[in-house]
Amino acid sequence: MLSHIRIAMPRTTPIRIASLLFLLSIVGHAVADDTPSRTTFYGRNYAGRVLTANEARSSNWYMSYDVAVGFSTRRDSSVYAYKYGYPTWGVGIAVSRFSDLQFTSPSFMPDVYTVYASFHRQLVQDGRFTWGYNWETGITSSPSYYDPVGNPDNLAQSSFIMAYFGGGFYGTYALGKQWQLGTELTYRHHSNGKLSLPNTGIDIIGASIFVRYALSEPAAPACAKEHFAPFKRRMMCHLAVGGGVHSCDAEWIAYNRMVERPEDKQSVFTHYPKLTLVADMLYRYSEKHATGIGLDLTCSTNMRQLEAAERIIYGDQQVDEGPGYSPLSVGVGIVQEFFWKNLAGYLSVGVYPYLHRGITENYGLYYQKAGARYYFPDWHNTFVGLAIKANDFVAEFFEFSIGKAF
């Protein structure tokens, strides 16, 4: 219920936010003086409800406060700015008061601090009203986290650094040529990608109110439709090698959750490498989009340790009758890529024709990937990428890759 929300800000927060806003304003003025883009400033108050279940947590509502600076692309003469309707790119800083979340035990969640990049695209304008969507991605810092003795029920935070993803829909009302008042409905997610355990992640749905101020009045778009040549549709292929590391859930269960004495529980786990080979075949049918199919091969290096932990958890008979332990898994998925100049984001949803990684890591049929690639045209379309691989929307590992587009 909304009555669970504490709307009082800590005494030091307004000072911090004012200082951050002042620093961002200096950056904004510098950028505005050197480029023809329209610079805006943004303040947001967000109320969110944590969806991730935890029996020891007695409240799920918290508050977050953001300041950000945005840079319009209305003076960008590229076809990408035109096709996306001249969106706004930005950077921001958020303070999330996870300390509002109360536990029935002495456990706690600390306030966290997020630095993020954002993308706002307007879809509809009707007089003073506008509607659109936004996404955000960045890094979250948590000053404290899980400890088997001092903070045993905080299963969402187990590392100093987490990745952050967010997105939603917004509406604004223009109070004048330079002021806007708005609201938005947003989903947020924080996770360390199993770089450490436990890692239930933090899934949040919430709403916010915000105010924007622009340093200048709206500019006319840089180019008209007639400025651009027709796009040549084509097939394209990707071939990439990569990898990452992850911690083993079975070791967490065997050497932590099943151990009775808190002081005997293991809290630091080995990072096991994963090696990947990715091959995609896509049809690029516009400047913005390409769609196709992809093959994901993954080699996991922790099969011996996984089997040993699962024999503790399930016993020899269940393990011997289980799916077995093969380091290789094969995935086939549908891939959608979104382009902005040399940068591309992509999503993939697929199935496992072959997966035999014991009981704990036999994730089921479906997997998901979300990530970004940056292409280097002068290097024969070589690209570097970063993605998060998930199973049933639970993170498995962060994948770093390097490849070539044909």
Q: How far is CA 376 from CA 244, 279, 344, 348, 383, in A?
A: 22, 18, 12, 22, 6
Q: Which of 165, 191, 226 is the last residue of a domain?
A: 226
Q: Which of 176, 209, 226 is the last residue of a domain?
A: 226
What's the confidence (pLDDT) of residue 221?
72
Q: Domain residues for 238?
A: 230-405
- Render pLDDT for 235-246 as a digit per residue (tens, 0 to 9): 999 999 999 999
Looking at the fold, whether 48 and 171 belong to one and the same domain comes out as: yes
- Render pLDDT for 271-315 as a digit per residue (tens, 0 to 9): 999 999 999 999 999 999 999 999 999 999 999 999 999 999 999
| DSSP character at residue 103 | B
What's the confidence (pLDDT) of residue 320?
96
The number of residues in the chain equals 406
At residue 217 the predicted structure's pLDDT band, cuts being 50, 70 and 90, is: confident
Tell me the pLDDT of the chain averaged across its residues: 89
Domain count, the chain: 2
Tell me the pTM.
0.86
CB 265 within 8 A of CB 148: yes
Coil, strand, or helix at residue 228?
coil
- The C-alpha angle with vertex 41 and arms to 36 and 46, in degrees rounded to 5, equals 145
Looking at the fold, whether 242 and 315 belong to one and the same domain comes out as: yes
Q: State percent of the chain over pLDDT 70.
A: 89
Residues 6+ away with beta carbon under 8 Å from 178: 213, 214, 215, 216, 217
Q: Which of 206, 226, 246 is the last residue of a domain?
A: 226
Looking at the fold, whether 154 and 293 belong to one and the same domain comes out as: no
Which residue reads 């909304």 in tokens?
Answer: 2
What's the confidence (pLDDT) of residue 19?
44
Q: Which tokens hold the place of 174?
A: 């223009």
At residue 218 the predicted structure's pLDDT band, cuts being 50, 70 and 90, is: confident
Looking at the fold, whether 289 and 309 belong to one and the same domain comes out as: yes
Residues 6+ away with beta carbon under 8 Å from 264: none
Q: Which amino acid is at 394?
A: V
Looking at the fold, whether 275 and 300 belong to one and the same domain comes out as: yes
- Render pLDDT for 16-50 as a digit per residue (tens, 0 to 9): 444 444 444 444 443 333 344 579 999 999 999 99
- Render pLDDT for 83-136 as a digit per residue (tens, 0 to 9): 999 999 999 999 999 999 999 999 999 999 999 999 999 999 999 999 999 999
At residue 57 the predicted structure's pLDDT band, cuts being 50, 70 and 90, is: very high
Looking at the fold, whether 138 and 246 belong to one and the same domain comes out as: no
Looking at the fold, whether 46 and 187 belong to one and the same domain comes out as: yes
Of 57-61, 84-88, 360-364, the poorest mean pLDDT is in 360-364
Coil, strand, or helix at residue 59?
coil
What's the confidence (pLDDT) of residue 226?
62
**Dist CA 404 CA 406 (whole Å):** 7
Q: How far is CA 224 from CA 73, 147, 216, 229, in A?
A: 14, 58, 22, 12
Residues 6+ away with beta carbon under 8 Å from 337: 282, 284, 289, 290, 291, 344, 345, 346, 373
Which helix (H) or strand (E) is 187 found in, with range? strand 179-191
**Dist CA 186 CA 135 (whole Å):** 9
**Dist CA 66 CA 24 (whole Å):** 12
